[in-house]
Amino acid sequence: VPPLPPAGIPCQQPTRTANFPGVSKGEEKESAVGGAQSIMFKLQDSVNEAHTDSVWSVAWSRDEGRDVLITGSVDTVVKTWHVDGGGKITGRHKLDGHRLGVVSVDINSEGTVGVSSSLDSQIRIWDLERGNLLQDIDAGPVNAYKIALAPNGANVVAGSNTGELTVYDVTNGEKVARLSSQGKFAMSVAYSPDGTRVASGAIDGMVTVFDLTTGKQGSVQHQFTEAHSMPVRSLSFAPDERAQLLFTACDDGLIKIFDVREPGHVGTMSGHASWVLSVACRPDGSQLATGSSDKTLKVWDLRTRKCLHTSTTHKNQVWSACYNSDGTKIASVSDAKELHVTQVP
């Protein structure tokens, strides 16, 4: 298992690079955007005992006009939740079956199918309408860490301790592709919005982008061998026509931006006081949300690359954060067993 920041213990401060080109520093939090008439950043609801142990992952989709959340925890349980227009969180399903902690969850665009991966090397496919197990995939020892569901919901990709990524068919659990980065432990994975690329982030800081249009084995489109110097915990592509941009979150405390069309590092943002554990791009491409071991959730303006807001409502490190489909809310989870929903202007 790759190194994890221990609960309740301050993490080692990341090493900063003085005067790093393109670095934008995080600023003090602001309560509103665009003047007095703007919508405020506001904690709309929280569940302080969402699980019985640390919550490591959250994903968000839409289901018949109601927001659907899925969470995964060290307590081995996957849960689903509904969020109403005012941000009120209501529990729905408790999904048991994993034997060890749940590392990662994802959800399809309709909010009807969820996927979870665990330290037991099992990938489980769930019917979120009925709360039933649809498929159980045995990925083999330490061959399923973080997972990501394809935009069309047909496949799921999983990272492994060897650096190899495996793509599975959600319907029957069969392997449909293997992607080799020739690197180390793949700690994070992400699909591009059009499903033609997969990115992986490694324990040694390397970031690899695969082209899925070249056949079952795919091909390495770009490899950023010195993207970071520490584990890359999370990845997120920009949406739609901006999908050539890839955002990375790392234990070095930095969020970096890479152009995967014409490969290169195009920007860096800093401001967290410790490891950055999660990064998510707003659906309209205007913002990023990041969670950190410094117990904060930050929201960044991608036009100015400045911090718009810093939330200090979590009691422990923020493992995962994501936007809802219209970008008006952020869900975040932490080592303190919490699930929060924050209003976003």
pLDDT at site 219: 87
Extract the tokens encoding 16: 């900063």
Cα(289)–Cα(60) distance, rounded to whole angstroms?
14
Extract the tokens encoding 217: 């084995």
pLDDT in tens, 167-221: 999 999 999 999 988 778 999 999 999 999 999 999 999 999 999 988 766 788 8
Cα(24)–Cα(288) distance, rounded to whole angstroms?
13
Extract the tokens encoding 283: 């659906």
Give the amino acid at 150: A
Cα(195)–Cα(213) distance, rounded to whole angstroms?
9
pLDDT at site 41: 93
Q: Global pTM?
A: 0.88
Q: Are 311 and 318 in contact (CB under 8 A)?
A: no
Name the β-bridge partners of 338. Answer: none
pLDDT at site 26: 39
HEC per residue, the chain: CCCCCCCCCCCCCCCCCCCCCCEEECCCCCCECCCCCCCECEEEEEECCCCCCCEEEEEEEEECCEEEEEEEECCCCEEEEEECCCCCEEEEEEECCCCCCEEEEEECCCCCEEEEEECCCEEEEEECCCCEEEEEEECCCCCCCCEEECCCCCEEEECCCCCEEEEEECCCCCEEEEEECCCCCEEEEEECCCCCEEEEEECCCCEEEEEHHHCCCCEEEEEECCCCCCCEEEEEECCHHHCCEEEEEECCCEEEEEECCCCEEEEEEECCCCCEEEEEECCCCCEEEEEECCCCEEEEECCCCEEEEEECCCCCCEEEEEECCCCCEEEEEECCCCEEEEECC
pLDDT at site 4: 53
Cα(2)–Cα(319) distance, rounded to whole angstroms?
15
Q: In what order do the strands lie in the sheet with 89-95?
A: 55-63, 66-73, 78-83, 89-95
Residues with Cβ within 8 Å of residue 241, at least 6 apart in sequence: none
Q: Are 67 and 94 in contact (CB under 8 A)?
A: no
Query: Which region holds residue 153: left if phi is over 0, alpha if psi is between -120 and 50, else beta?
Result: left
Which position has the token pair 């909010």?
111
Cα(112)–Cα(110) distance, rounded to whole angstroms?
5
The number of beta carbons lying within 10 Å of the beta carbon of residue 316 is: 17
Q: How far is CA 94 from the centre of its chain?
A: 21
Which position has the token pair 């991608």?
302
pLDDT at site 9: 33
Per-residue pLDDT 10s for the chain (345 aa) are 444 544 333 333 443 332 323 334 433 333 444 443 345 899 999 999 999 999 999 999 865 566 899 999 999 999 999 999 899 999 999 999 999 999 999 999 889 999 999 999 999 999 999 999 999 999 987 678 999 999 999 999 999 988 899 999 999 999 999 998 877 899 999 999 999 999 999 999 999 999 998 876 678 888 998 899 999 999 999 997 666 899 999 999 999 999 988 778 999 999 999 999 999 999 999 999 999 999 999 999 999 999 999 999 999 999 999 999 999 999 999 999 999 999 999
Cα(31)–Cα(309) distance, rounded to whole angstroms?
7
The number of beta carbons lying within 10 Å of the beta carbon of residue 15 is: 11
